Chains A and B, each alone.
Chain A
């Protein structure tokens, strides 16, 4: 099937929906979403704790303002965020949260009827607005409803297999209807990628099963650099075993982190902020406790853990503020946090880096935009604050949708786009034919598991030269083995074997970008913690990593960080 649309948004999560709404509202008549999932299934739905904005609704937050939000974001980022972008996000936060409220988002409320806010890690004020512990679910459903109201068409369960770029200009994409297996193309005057993160490149991830960085790989293979990919967030509190997210809201509501001696150990690592230190610091503190023998299940299968203790909050507060946490603990760990501490371990959670864009969401390819977790503007730098990811999606979803809507007026896909698209479809068909006729001496799921373990161990919470170099070699070896993978199921309808072995190619390439970027960054900054270079090195590394695809693997370049208001200082919490 050959389709043609003015604006094609790839991904139906919060960023994609918000961008589609913005482009639609800016007057573009023909905006469509192409999404691997029905929109409400996107991973935005699993965000739990909240969304940051200096609404100053909390009794202890009356002095809060956007500038303080901006500062906390920059400090949290270990000063790698571009400060002009952080400023825009902090200012826009207030408008966008009110807008979501006007659109019906069921935020929790204070007694005076205002939107409730709670404290979150790394923030000087309680500025995280929330809808119990299902904020992502509340926002995503509200956003989807607004897209429905506008009649925005969604091609759901359509997979994008290749982004077509010719002469530095986006022309569209090759797609597959997942339900029928039919390949096709979508010509587009402008394309926006909003495909989410790459968490599943790692073992022990909180992410959904489909967050494999596919959109990042699409852009990377189309010649767009990936930025700051070495910065991977490990959330301090993944549920031990399944690594399902135990929201930062648990600590925002007053939960304790406790080691096997019964100590609130954060007093050693962040004496002022305690459990509400930023995520990179809290995750490392937990891992240090485990590594030094003060965790539970030491050396046991599934790794060590510490306790997240909510018992002192009481049943009523847990039911009101953290009902999903209680439900998840019961269903997936067989424990009730009202009566028992929760076993938690640091778990891969977020990709700070992503497709390099400017503040308008525009990439270096004309007509190609990106927003949300797949993009890197950058506002999160080396460590994202909890509550800033939902915010990133709706702020930069809107701004990029606005910019794209404005740009696309008078810009249509160049002549010859159809030919380029047809050729690209042939390339995809050839790639599939190779997968179907592979030697089959290697097994895709095995390579995937080895990749995930390799990344967790070699480019994980604590890093060092030899460990990472070995990791790079291992990923390269896996890439070589991938050439011998064979897709065993040849059916057309909902062929998961084909989809998974196909996406593995992108996972391996993005993994290499992460590992090479980490190896080259000889300092510790935010989530990138090296035992061999323990300090931040602003002189040499206050700069963004840009990774370009070449036939030999990623080529690294660097670009300056935009500092406007706040000179980098040492981070203390």
Chain B
């Protein structure tokens, strides 16, 4: 393959033009990622394209997009794996307001994250050294801490589309990260938050989040953990 087509979603609020796709012919090289293709187009063909990108190694979470029908990070996915025929289609994360081209408004995403109190709460004074935690206890939340807050799961969640107040899978993953941490003493407070009207029970276990996650996190499992705990808490079946 010498070249391929990159079909890019375009929208500029200044021009008044309707959202549309522009298609560019891109020189291919082995190992090319979709992000590299976008950069190539921006440097060689069209300087007006807007996209977010930073680390280019799938750890900063900047470049989550909807690429040839998949939620993924543009930096992580190879062009050859995203081709539909001779074309790769790049669109912004859906269900969020487009600011320009591939850049979406993520204010709500960040606000929802902050809403679940994503910080360790421990009501005892800090010890002189570290709090001890066994490797097994640390493993209770090791999946959740891989989250890079890229927004792919949030954009892909059908429950979030039908109810804008739902905090979203990303926020609940972090809620479970602290709920599972033996160093955190705010279990009841956390369950109150996640068992609220816009918490875990809005999740319909569609598993889109799991499908969307570029870091292999099972958000549905984390949410189920919280649902079980929230049920037991509300019904007084267990102590927290």
Contact = CB atoms under 8 A, between A and B. Distances in A.
Contact of A113 (B49, B132, B146): B132
A244 interface: yes
Interface string B177-209: 010010110000000000000000000000000
Interface string B212-230: 0000000000000000000
Given A108-B138, A332-B57, A179 B99 contact: yes
Contacts of A408: none
A328 interface: yes
Interface residues on A, range: 35 or more
B130 A328 contact: no
A328 B58 CA distance: 8
A479 B48 CA distance: 24
A208 B35 CA distance: 13
Interface string A131-168: 11010011001100110110000000000000000000
Nearest to A501: B47
16 contacts: A38-B110, A55-B129, A98-B126, A98-B130, A104-B178, A104-B183, A107-B130, A108-B135, A112-B132, A148-B114, A148-B118, A149-B117, A208-B60, A489-B47, A494-B101, A496-B42
A476 interface: no
Interface residues on B, range: 35 or more
A111 interface: yes
A99 B130 CA distance: 8
Interface in A293-332: 324, 327-328, 331-332
A445 interface: yes
A492 B43 CA distance: 18
A38 B148 CA distance: 12
Contact of A497 (B48, B78, B103, B131): B48
A390 interface: no
A533 B78 CA distance: 45
A257 B149 CA distance: 35
B64 to A, nearest CB: 11
A241 interface: yes
Closest 8 CB pairs of A and B: A104-B120, A113-B132, A494-B50, A497-B47, A145-B119, A445-B43, A489-B48, A493-B100
A134 B143 CA distance: 13
A134 B145 CA distance: 10
Interface string A108-136: 11111111000000000000000110100
Given A114-B132, A208-B56, A209-B54, A40 B142 contact: no
Contact of A40 (B42, B61, B99): B61
B14 interface: yes
A331 B76 contact: yes
B119 A146 contact: yes
Contacts of A481: none
Nearest to B56: A209
Given A491-B14, A493-B50, A104 B119 contact: yes
Contact of A41 (B61, B122, B127): B61
A46 B59 contact: yes
A497 B110 CA distance: 27
Contacts of A134: 59, 145-146
Contacts of A99: 126
Nearest to A111: B135
B89 interface: no
Contacts of A45: 55, 59-60, 148
A488 B47 contact: yes
B181 A41 contact: no
A494 B42 CA distance: 13
A113 B149 CA distance: 28
B148 A137 contact: yes
B103 A179 contact: yes
B50 A496 contact: yes
Contacts of A101: 130-131
B134 interface: yes
Contact of A492 (B14, B127, B178): B14
Centre residue among B33, B57, B117, B119 by max chain A CB count within 10 A: B57
Contacts of B110: 38
Contacts of B47: 487-489, 496-497
Contacts, number: 158
Interface of B is mostly: loop
A76 interface: no
Contacts of A98: 126, 128-130
B71 to A, nearest CB: 16
B176 interface: no
A156 B134 CA distance: 37
B12 A493 contact: yes
A46 B118 contact: no
Contact of B131 (A102, A148, A492, A496): A102
A38 B101 CA distance: 19
Nearest to A146: B119
B212 to A, nearest CB: 16
B20 to A, nearest CB: 16
B135 to A, nearest CB: 5
Contact of B148 (A40, A210, A241, A445): A40
Contacts of A333: 31
B54 A145 contact: no
B134 A113 contact: yes
A187 to B, nearest CB: 25
A103 interface: yes
Interface in B57-116: 57-62, 76, 78, 99-101, 103, 106, 110, 114
B13 interface: yes
A112 to B, nearest CB: 7
A43 interface: yes
Given A109-B134, A497-B47, A43 B55 contact: yes
A106 B14 contact: no
A37 interface: yes
B50 A111 contact: no
B163 interface: no
Contacts of B12: 491, 493
A153 to B, nearest CB: 12
Given A102-B126, A497-B48, A244 B54 contact: no
A496 B51 CA distance: 8
A208 B54 contact: yes
A41 B99 contact: no
Contacts of A332: 31, 33, 57
Centre residue among B54, B126, B135, B178 by max chain A CB count within 10 A: B54
A429 B68 CA distance: 40
B166 interface: no
A5 to B, nearest CB: 20
A242 interface: yes
B133 interface: yes
Nearest to B101: A494
B54 A331 contact: no
Given A45-B60, A493-B12, A493-B100, A209 B120 contact: no
Contact of B149 (A40, A131, A132, A245): A40
